[in-house]
Amino acid sequence: MPDGDIERRWWKESVVYQVYPRSFNDTDGDGVGDIPGIVEKVDYLDDLGVDVVWLNPVYDSPNADNGYDIADYRSIMDEFGTMADWEELLDELHSRDIKLIMDLVVNHTSDEHEWFVDSRAGDPEYEDFYIWRDGRDADEVSWSATEGPAGEAPPNAWKSYFGGPAWAYDEEREAWYLHLFDVKQPDLNWENPRVRDEVFEMMEWWFDKGIDGFRMDVINLISKPEGLPNDPDDPFCGAMTGPTNGPRVHEFLAEMNERVLDREYLTVGEMLGPEIPMEHARRYLDPDEDGLSMLFHFEHMLLDRGDNIWERDEWALSDLKAVFNRWDDGLKTEGWNSLYLNNHDQPRMVSRFGNDGEYRRESAKLLGTLLHTLRGTPYIYQGEELGMTNYPFESLDDFRDVDTLRPLENAIEAGEVDSFDAVKEAVRANSRDNARTPVQWSAGPNAGFTDGEPWLGVNPNKGEVNVETERADEDSVWHYYRDLISLRKEYDVVVYGEYDPLFPDDDTVWAYTRTLSTTDGDERLLVALNFSDDDVAVGLPDDVTSDEGALLIGNYPADGDPDVVSELAAGDLRLRPWEARVYDLR
Ligand code: GLC
């Protein structure tokens, strides 16, 4: 057994499965997934072996941003079902020992939330619930907006994450309000203690209903810099670098921690920005400060993203490793990492970091091996366990996402981009809609997702990639994921072992050991991953070879050539394309 100095937590030992309800499973034929559809698949999740479900927003919403624009935090969106359906889902999950975490979206609400309706009407109780400012004289400043009274410019030059100015003029209140996302997502004013009271009460209300935690949407944006500074070179201006980790963010979260959080909950804060300074990260995760269990940073998600949806950068394996190595090191003694390579805002990982053609299966398994054997809590995004891929978008009509359409349409209108066709490859690779196509349950019509017309196209590869086929085949990505998940339950070293990277600068092979000192001696694993379409030889340092080692899991058939155990003894691995091996070094 491990030494007593390990801080055991159920959420460290868990695997989280993310459900994006709109695209999961539709039971009423309207082409949109729903909560009864998730209830229908609880046994599926149980068979896979996951411990926690993170549910993307299911609250009442006009859907300007697929539920991230909430009109009522205490009711369920009609399209998704009723509160009774939600309660049934919670019961069904809990009766199988699966926990449920909800999405907490409190940087902003919908403009249809009653707080905003009252705020724009100038109701004294709500007037300061949002961030309202007067406009500037357009002749005196260098920025402008297409909307608003003649001669007036927005209060500052901030840009929305979804493109265009971050301010909208409201005719009724005759003032501008801040929206870091869509115009229908006004930012809440966290400086107002009544806003905090309302948010904390609402969280308490959900905890009382029995949930096990929250994923907190863009939570490092809640504190805006004092005076809303406006230097266009300031990092607070411009998309992807909005007002992150603002001056009072830790104070607000510490208050939340004190008033509503508990170490028994799983809380994971989404942290926007090109880089989260480690001092901030530690404060977010310190039980005596902000008290979150984990955070999602974006450093690995930005490696290949250009500044705009129509731009791409090259990524190198050594850069990807450097991000994970920095985070493992930064949180070695305090804090805990989350591990993800895709979610509802990111393209499919096998298309992005793997090879979704010839080696789709191998590379999906390899990436899964990485996520399940690094130190941290793995997050599986729906369909990842099938090796689902990006979608072959052909025209703008194929997209639904505001974050793809709005910036691109603006750029085409402004003449910055000629046409969709001119930037098709990059937009295809970047769009959030890649993740949002319906889960492929079968090879049948609409992949078994709906009897109606799906709200977003079904991937044409459903014949090959679907739950039925995957479950019927013992060598599938699905079965491999199930094995990876159970490995975590069997070996403490997978959860708690120290991570030591080998060959950090190598751009083809990612290899590392995991070591846990126990009273019965060391438990030690070696993980070796070939991120390429070619065979590769790996010469191991002397201290990671073993005469008695065994292969715990690998993504090539175990039988025959090459002899993976004697290769380990010789310290000379020959990895095939996208091969992943996890050895127990004993
Ligand atoms: C987060 C969500 C994303 C949403 C945005 C605004 O990044 O994951 O889907 O659009 O916040 O709420």
The 10s digit of each residue's pLDDT in 333-358 is: 999 999 999 999 999 999 999 999 99
Cis peptide before 2 (omega within 30 of 0): no
Phi/psi of residue 296, each to 5°?
A: -105, 115
Convert the pLDDT of each residue in 137-153 to its tens digit.
999 998 888 899 999 99
Question: What is the residue extent of each domain of the chain?
Answer: 11-107+193-477, 114-178, 497-584
Residue type at 230 in one-letter notation: N
Centre of ligand 1 to C-alpha 525, Å, is 37
**Tokens, residue 533:** 């379409």
- Span 251-277, mean pLDDT? 95
Smallest CA separation from ligand 1 atom 3, residue: 345
Whether 134 is catalytic = no
Tens digits of per-residue pLDDT, 411-453?
999 999 999 999 999 999 999 999 999 999 999 999 999 999 9
In tens, the pLDDT along 93-116 reads 999 999 999 999 999 999 999 999
Gyration radius of the chain's alpha carbons = 24
Domain with residues 497-584, CATH architecture: Sandwich (2.60)
Most distant pair of Cα atoms in the chain: their distance: 79
CB-defined site of ligand 1, < 6 Å: 65, 68, 105, 181, 217-218, 270, 344-345
Homologous superfamily, domain 114-178 = Oligo-1,6-glucosidase; Domain 2 (3.90.400.10)
CATH class of 11-107+193-477: alpha beta
Length of the chain (residues)? 586
pTM above 0.95, yes or no: yes
* Atom nearest to 272 CA in ligand 1: 7
Beta partners for residue 572, in sequence order: 539
Residue 2 confidence class, pLDDT cut points 50, 70, 90: very low
Calculate the average pLDDT of the chain: 95
Note whether 50 and 485 are within 8 A (CB): yes
Q: How far apart are the CA of 145 and the centre of ligand 1, in A?
A: 24
Which one, of 453, 451, 477, lies nearest residue 464 by Cα? 477
- Does the active-site annotation cover 270? yes
| Two tokens, residue 168 | 């909208």
Atom 9 in ligand 1: which residue has the minimum CA distance? 345
Q: Is a pLDDT exceeding 90 seen at residue 162? A: no
Which residue in the list 270, 328, 362, 403 is annotated as catalytic? 270
Question: Within 13 Å, how many C-alpha atoms sit on residue 468's CB side?
Answer: 11
pLDDT of residue 50: 98
- Are 341 and 375 within 8 A, CB to CB? no
Q: How confident is the model at residue 557 (pLDDT cuts 50, 70, 90)?
A: confident
* Per-residue pLDDT at 360: 98
Residue 312's DSSP bridge partners are 305
Ligand 1 centroid – CA 312 distance (Å): 21
pLDDT tens digit sequence for 12-61: 999 999 999 999 999 999 999 999 999 999 999 999 999 999 999 999 99
Paired tokens of 497: 């072992």
Q: Are strands 498-502 and 213-216 parallel, antiparallel or unpaired?
A: unpaired
